[in-house]
Amino acid sequence: MKKEFKTLRILVVDDNSLILMSLSRFLKKIALVKTASTAEEALEAIEEQHYDLCLLDFTLPGMTGLDAMKIINEQFPNTKVAIMTGTLLNEAMKEQVDDYAYTFIEKPFALSDIAGVVERATVGLNQ
């Protein structure tokens, strides 16, 4: 009997178009990828379609990544959130990120770092 594999779905959220393009191109080799440039767009996308993993920029125009992360965790608990940031976080922010995020990705990052995050986030997905 053939084993059925679930298609991995990843949402990438960043206001930097270069990051969106490079992550999308890299991740499309292993997953269905959607991009968004604001937290509001990301929440709309998640309402329409389940995502296994959301790579979410911390600093976004409008709603912050931190606020979006909290909403995703509350309303879509099956979506793991990885926060991406190049901003130094104060202790209170770090605690909130630790409480809600699956993991933290410091910018600048290597694509191999992203591959590791995806691999860890999807362990057991197709079992």
Query: For 71-112, how does the pLDDT look when each residue is reduced to its tens digit (9 = 90+)?
Result: 999 999 999 999 998 766 666 677 767 777 788 888 899 999
Residue 3 in any domain: the answer is no
Residue 76 in any domain: the answer is yes
Judging by beta carbons within 10 Å of its beta carbon (0-12, 13-18, 19+), is residue 96 exposed, middle or buried?
middle
Task: Give the chain's domain count.
Answer: 1
Q: What's the CATH number where 98 sits?
A: 3.40.50.2300
Instruction: Please say if the pLDDT value at position 1 is more than 50.
Output: no
Please give the single-letter amino acid code of residue 106: E
The pLDDT tens digits for 39-69 are 999 999 999 999 999 999 999 999 999 899 9
Instruction: Please say if the pLDDT value at position 127 is more than 60.
Output: no
Instruction: Please say if the pLDDT value at position 4 is more than 50.
Output: no
Residue 62 in any domain: the answer is yes
Judging by beta carbons within 10 Å of its beta carbon (0-12, 13-18, 19+), is residue 114 exposed, middle or buried?
buried
Q: How many CA atoms lie within 13 A of 80 on its CB side?
A: 17
User: Of 54, 57, 75, which Cα lies nearest the Cα of 66?
Assistant: 57
